[in-house]
Structure 1
Amino acid sequence: MVKVAIIGMGVQGSAIASTLTMVKEVSEVVCADINLSRARRAVERLKDNRMVARWVNADDTDSLSDVVRGVDVVINATLPVFNLKIMDVALKRGAHYVDLASDNPLKQLELDDKWKKTGLTAVITQGGPFIVNAAVKRVSEELDRVDEVRLRHGWRKLEEELIPVWRPSWCPEVALSEWEVEPTIYRDGRFERLPLFSGVEEYHFPEPLGPMKVCLVDYEPVYTLPRFIGKGIRYVDCKLPLDLAIGTLINMGLTSRKPVEVKGVKVVPRDVLMALIPHPADAIDEQAERLDVLICYLAEVKGEKSGEKLIHVIYNSTSVSECLRRFKVYSADVSVPTVVTALMLIKGEVEPGVIPPEGLPTELFLTRLNEWGITFQNKVVYLRGP
């Protein structure tokens, strides 16, 4: 039987634990968080005696080492700042590793040889928009040459608020940090930084999502796809929906870590902002009831096959209501791919090393996703002229 440890029992960690209740091969799931009461609430909701709540400090090696002792897979669902430390502890404890986001994927990939030598595998940046990476890899393998990959990920509430409130459905700190770093694109073998909120365009997503304004962001696949796709790839970028609320907060300085004096008291604007935003993990049932969001993860892969220039438009569409209906969690787009990956690692179906989703055995991973009901559409557009 299999033992899994989840570090971080926020929205994503709780969803992963819930999805693991559907897997009979798992004998125990350690649900660990620095907020023990949050971990206990998550376990109580699941009503599964395989779930065990534990306290952990993700910034403390001894604490981590104690929690992951004897586990087969460590799933890191906490902040990316802890990735390298959790990876190191997992490696020393002889466990495979999966995380959901990274603030330095290239640094993690540098550990590839170290993991290969131990026969263990670390899969970085799994779930959510990153699942499309594997579909991009499959399409790229069919092409003679790949010129460009343009990632376009969109989501919107079915009922838009008249006055928008910045209220992320995942860790507020991670959600905020995505917009504070200048976006990166890959062009002709180099990574280029561009201004915040640049590259705005109206992109027409497949229905029912439809047209949305999107802009460039700093996103992990921009760094990983060129390395794992090859085929002469010259350009990669990623755009997400333009978030006016977070843009306003940033431009007003309300996300700053620099203290300001208010009536004789020094306060950090960011601390005030974070204190005012309810953590989504502490209002998970309320969020599930009030949210219905349309989601589309899409990639345009431009290249050439048999002398013909073409674009593959690959996408996965879902909604929060569909995730709730089928999986009883509203972030199944994260939890299901993460659990699928963990099971592949346990079964020895992935070569040792450090890889992103596109480094997994592509057909096998996409087949397993399909078995869980996560599928991709693929439209081919043939180009004429030079």
Structure 2
Amino acid sequence: MKIALIGAGVQGQVLCAMFVANPDVEEVRVADKRLDVAERLAGYLKSDKVSVHKVDASDVEDLLKVTKGVDVVVNAALPWLNIPIVRAALKSGANYLDLASMYETIDEQLGYSDEYRKAGLTAVMGMGVSPGLTDVLAKYAADRLDHVYEVRVRLYGEVKSKEPIAFWSPEVAWDDIACPPTVFMDGKFKTVPPFSGVEEYEFPNLVEVFPDVGSNKKTCIYHAHEEPHYMGRFFKDKGLRYADFKWAPANWEVQKEIVEMGLTSTEPIDVDGVKVVPRDVLIKLSPKTLFIEEYKKKIEEGILVDQRAYGVVDVKGEKGGKEVRHLLWFYMTLKKAHERVPGSTTTSYLTCTPAST
């Protein structure tokens, strides 16, 4: 299999390591606008399978230089670049996969479905952990029900580190935090305020998996994510009434204060005669994602002590005239992730495993 991997950021690096280790993969073309990062990745992995290319992922014609002749284009770039990469893959006669979506362009991206089908190609949207694994689990439950009425996705995570460390692009992370979440309710998509929908949700087996957390109940809040968008579109014919996504971050009240102070605003403000965009300052001051080798060093030196994640997909429906509830859950620890792919974190390992499988 020949792969064009667009994006050599934190997720792209772990994906590339997974592809290199896969005996069915014969070639990985790593493409990024930052040629030095792609070259550093190739040098770290030391594999003849890897070649590096400088590419402007917003330019279809430029993308075609690396997408022509591959079997699949894997998009690990920022989600606002999805559409040109989708188009380049289609023009190249390649299959397509990405990790996340822009909420505003989901329908536009789905609009290419017929063209992909006619070309005998497959395109998969949002195949990380969440979205991705969560949607696969929801589909698994839905296929075992006559009717699907409610789908709830809940994520719990915890980090123990001696210094601030980012696990995701700060641009994407802060945009998701500040964005009004979408909920599928009564057959319609509705937006709700960020940090609303506070509830004490009981995670199944959380204490069994992580005994020191003390309780299966954790405070969860609405968070902008793809799952309600996907499920509201694809489970509607099975009678879906409600779908949401909530997470349980330990520091959500701090995040709320940052947003309410206006620090995620993209509107320029005057600071002593200088025009400043608050979001630009916030992103500049936020911890940046590291190179895979740097994560490896932080883990081995005991600076990044632990990172744990637990997710559950809670599906309610009907089978044979009886109400049925399916709870499907998964978890990962930093130790297990790092053992399997050195330098991967819980976040990157969970995100990249579905996409690389």
Question: What TM-score, normalized to structure 2?
Answer: 0.88
1:234 aligns with 241
CA gap 1:54/1:287 in 2 versus in 1, 3 angstroms:
farther
Q: Is the Cα–Cα contact under 8 Å of residues 106 and 223 in structure 1 kept in the other structure? A: no
Which whole-Å CA distance do the structure 2 matches of 1:252 and 1:152 have between them? 27
Q: Is the Cα–Cα contact under 8 Å of residues 265 and 278 in structure 2 kept in the other structure? A: yes
**Deviation of residue 288 (structure 1)?**
4.2
Q: Is 1:302 equivalent to 2:316 in the alignment?
A: yes
**Deviation of residue 82 (structure 1)?**
0.6
**Deviation of residue 76 (structure 1)?**
0.7
3-state DSSP of counterpart to 1:26:
coil
Which whole-Å CA distance do the structure 2 matches of 1:192 and 1:83 have between them? 24
**Deviation of residue 88 (structure 1)?**
0.4
1:313 aligns with 327
2:116 aligns with 115
2:307 aligns with 293
Deviation string for 1:16-62 (max 9, x for gaps)? 00111221121111111111111111121112121112211111222
Taking the TM superposition and a 5 Å limit, the aligned residue runs for 1:135-174 are: 135-157=137-159, 159=160, 167-174=165-172
Which whole-Å CA distance do the structure 1 matches of 2:277 and 2:74 have between them? 32
Q: Is 1:65 equivalent to 2:64 in the alignment?
A: yes
Which stretches of structure 1, 4 residues or more, deviate above 3 A after TM superposition? Answer: 281-289
**Deviation of residue 286 (structure 1)?**
4.6
CA gap 1:215/1:145 in 2 versus in 1, 3 angstroms:
same
Paired residues in the alignment total 335
Q: Is the Cα–Cα contact under 8 Å of residues 153 and 298 in structure 1 kept in the other structure? A: yes
1:224 aligns with 230
User: Which amino acid is the alignment partner of residue 284 of structure 1?
Assistant: Y
CA gap 1:196/1:87 in 2 versus in 1, 3 angstroms:
same
3-state DSSP of counterpart to 2:17:
helix
1:100 aligns with 99
Which whole-Å CA distance do the structure 2 matches of 1:37 and 1:121 have between them? 31
Task: Provide the aligned C-alpha RMSD in A.
Answer: 1.9
Q: Is 1:44 equivalent to 2:43 in the alignment?
A: yes
3-state DSSP of counterpart to 1:127:
coil
Identity of aligned residues (%): 36
**Deviation of residue 291 (structure 1)?**
4.7
2:179 aligns with 181
**Structure of higher RCO (CA pairs closer than 8 Å, 6+ residues apart):** 1
Deviates more, 1:107-116 or 1:14-23: 107-116
CA gap 1:89/1:118 in 2 versus in 1, 3 angstroms:
same
2:192 aligns with 194
Deviation string for 1:103-141 (max 9, x for gaps)? 132331122112111111110001112202112212221
Q: Is the Cα–Cα contact under 8 Å of residues 31 and 53 in structure 2 kept in the other structure? A: yes
Q: Is 1:336 equivalent to 2:347 in the alignment?
A: no
Which whole-Å CA distance do the structure 1 matches of 2:166 and 2:189 have between them? 29
3-state DSSP of counterpart to 2:350:
helix
User: Which amino acid is the alignment partner of residue 142 of structure 2?
Assistant: S
Gaps of 5+ in 1: 341-386
3-state DSSP of counterpart to 2:266:
coil
Q: Is the Cα–Cα contact under 8 Å of residues 95 and 122 in structure 2 kept in the other structure? A: yes
3-state DSSP of counterpart to 1:17:
helix
Which whole-Å CA distance do the structure 2 matches of 1:40 and 1:14 have between them? 11
**Deviation of residue 249 (structure 1)?**
2.1
1:284 paired residue among 292, 295, 299: 295
